[in-house]
Structure 1
């Protein structure tokens, strides 16, 4: 594996394409925007907001929330950019990612590298100055663990999902730490929900794109799991634990909370159980979409019973 900190000054060419496209200014701006993975950032902003709101004591500081989201967005965008810079060669081998700006050759290696570094640095400094050192520390720790631990492990072991779920759940703590200046025990409840949620979500994605991942040499699924039974059982197991964890506050939150969480959990489990009966990529896709609906609903319920 090529060291992730090296910079190849040559232009990257996507092996699945026949030519290099030289974009204009508008297209180049769009490519820079694509590097930041805006669809992932939407999830990050949502979970960071939930952490900030739940970590707030008293009235919500709207300016503080906006500053927290801006700094977190910058760090997350830098992380996504550097992640694609590290994985540019293998992205070019997958049909799903071959058209990204780096493997397609529309952006150069130095452009992406420095763009990612600048975004991450500005974001970390912004959080440290405008919010507090704890939020900045958590954000930069998320960046480092994602790039140095999770990203290289994707080509070495299926355990990458387990380790990657830690930085994936950190936005909840970033938001909480930004609002309160410390991490309360209750913050770990929110962290646990996002940590567990990632398993049915990302394992279902791995089932959907298994051939693509295999082509690029990513070990997202165990090699012994030829028929995907083990992975589907994992998805079911983590989903059940996730739903049970969301029910923990029931003793204090009351019956309306219980009813709402059971209803949302039943929705997710319905799609998960269907997947356990068949390794259909269509059913895996439905689990992914169900999980995307499930998470914000759960966060709203928790915020409602705050």
Structure 2
């Protein structure tokens, strides 16, 4: 007989959701889709040469990554379901809503995450599998417990989100190069204004759940808004480095400058006014920014990543002149 949990107090509805919908929520498939997309971008930016054997490798990489990410999401909910039950935004998730027992969710998360890492190790390469394992461990053993202890949890979560494009790169090349770290840096910086805006919007909910997000410890919002603006501005410089490194061309540089300037301006408005409307605008702006930036990067990608970056190559040539 299936073990059930009582529905959480304040749950909008006790009617069980269809199995597919419950699985989508347990594994956070929308967030997994973002992880898959950023992994694919890393692979496509790194790969050079014929695509005949690359497509199967890409497909296996994305499946393995999706499984590892989905398992991490399930384990996260297994660890947080009591806190989720207190929050309006999360009380209808499968475990707090009583649709799924914590032990079943834990077992499913472990099995799916292990399958993803094993698939990457067997069908792609050990480096990519090691990066996937690092994400699972960081997400469950560092980021998740840190959310109730320190506002620096946002940085830990951003590290987890920065690794998937590096996994794509390592899957394509078997190694990590500066370009992989650059892509990871873009994802890291993007997540800070994104999550700070989200935490500001739901700060009362996070407070009820007992999470120590920065907007809860910063009730005026002054530090929250300032950090969102600083990281958004830093993102402009890092994205321009993609073109300076020869990974993309002038079209990308111009687009990245425009997109980054727009995002930084939206973040600056949050820093100035610290209102709900401005936080919502920043959150939505981050959602629009990332796919536009990545699409532009792929459309204008340039020289092979294994080649020296143009700026450094020119500097080396000058140093070798008599």
What TM-score, normalized by structure 1, do the two folds share?
0.91
What 5-or-longer segments of structure 2 have no aligned partner?
303-322
Listed as ranges, the matches of 1:190-209 within 5 Å are 190-209=183-202
The DSSP-based 3-state class of the residue aligned with 1:247 is helix
Aligned partners of 2:187 and 2:169: how far apart in 1?
Answer: 14
SS across alignment from 2:89? coil
- Correspondence for 1:126: 119
Question: Distance in 2 between the 1:43 and 1:291 partners?
Answer: 13
2:60 to 67, 72, 77: 67
Q: Provide the C-alpha distance between the structure 1 equivalents of 2:202 and 2:216, rounded to a whole number of angstroms.
A: 15
1:224 Cα shift? 4.8
Report the CA distance shift for 1:267/1:222 in structure 2 as closer, same or farther (over 3 A).
closer
Conserved 8 A contact 1:28-1:107: no
Query: Which of 5, 9, 17 is residue 15 of structure 1 equivalent to?
Result: 9
Q: Distance in 1 between matches of 2:96 and 2:217?
A: 30
Alignment partner of 1:260 out of 245, 255, 259 = 255
Structure 2 equivalent of residue 104 of structure 1: 97
Q: Confirm or deny that 1:227 pairs with 2:220.
A: yes
Whether the aligned pair in 1 keeps the contact of 2:203 and 2:215 (CA below 8 Å) is: no
Task: Indicate if the aligned counterparts of 2:196 and 2:215 stay in contact, CA closer than 8 A.
Answer: no
User: What's the secondary structure of 1:107's corresponding residue?
Assistant: coil
Matches within 5 A, 1:19-38: 21=15, 27-38=18-29
Match of 2:237 in 1: 244
SS in 1 for 2:11: coil
Number of residue pairs aligned between Structure 1 and Structure 2 = 295
Match of 1:77 in 2: 70
Q: Does 1:114 align with 2:107?
A: yes
* Residue aligning to 2:301: 305
CA contact (8 A) 2:200 2:215 kept: no
Task: Give ranges in structure 1 of 5+ residues lacking alignment.
Answer: 1-8
Shift of 1:275: 1.4
Aligned 8 A contact 2:233 2:261 in 1:
no
User: What RMSD over aligned residues (CA atoms) do the two structures have, in Å?
Assistant: 1.8
Structure-2 change in CA distance of 1:250 and 1:131 (3 Å): closer
In the alignment, what sits opposite 1:92?
A: 85
**From 161, 176, 179, the counterpart of 1:183:** 176
What is the deviation of 1:46? 0.9
| 1:226/1:250 CA distance change after superposition, 3 Å | same
- The answer to whether the 8 A contact 1:28-1:106 is kept is no
Match of residue 52 from structure 1? 43
Asked if 1:218 corresponds to 2:214, the answer is no
The residue that corresponds to 1:6 in the other structure is none
The residue matched to 2:256 in structure 1 has which SS? helix
Contact 1:204 1:285 in 2 (8 A): yes
CA distance in 1, matches of 2:269, 2:76: 33
Aligned match of 2:163? 170
Instruction: Kindly provide the CA deviation profile for residues 103-159 of structure 1, in whole angstroms up to 9, marking residues without a partner as x.
Output: 010111122111111111111111111111111111011000110000000000001
Distance 1:38 1:205 in 2: 18
Give me the whole-angstrom Cα distance separating, in 1, the residues matched to 2:216 and 2:199: 13
> Cα offset for 1:33?
2.3
Cα distance, 1:258 vs structure 2: 2.5
Evaluate the alpha carbon distance shift between residue 19 and residue 65 of structure 1 in structure 2; reply closer, same or farther with a 3 A threshold. Answer: closer
Shift in Å, 1:305: 2.6
Q: Is the 8 A contact 2:143 2:153 kept in 1?
A: yes
Distance, in Å, in 2 between the alignment partners of 1:128 and 1:254 is: 34
Aligned counterpart, 1:271: 266
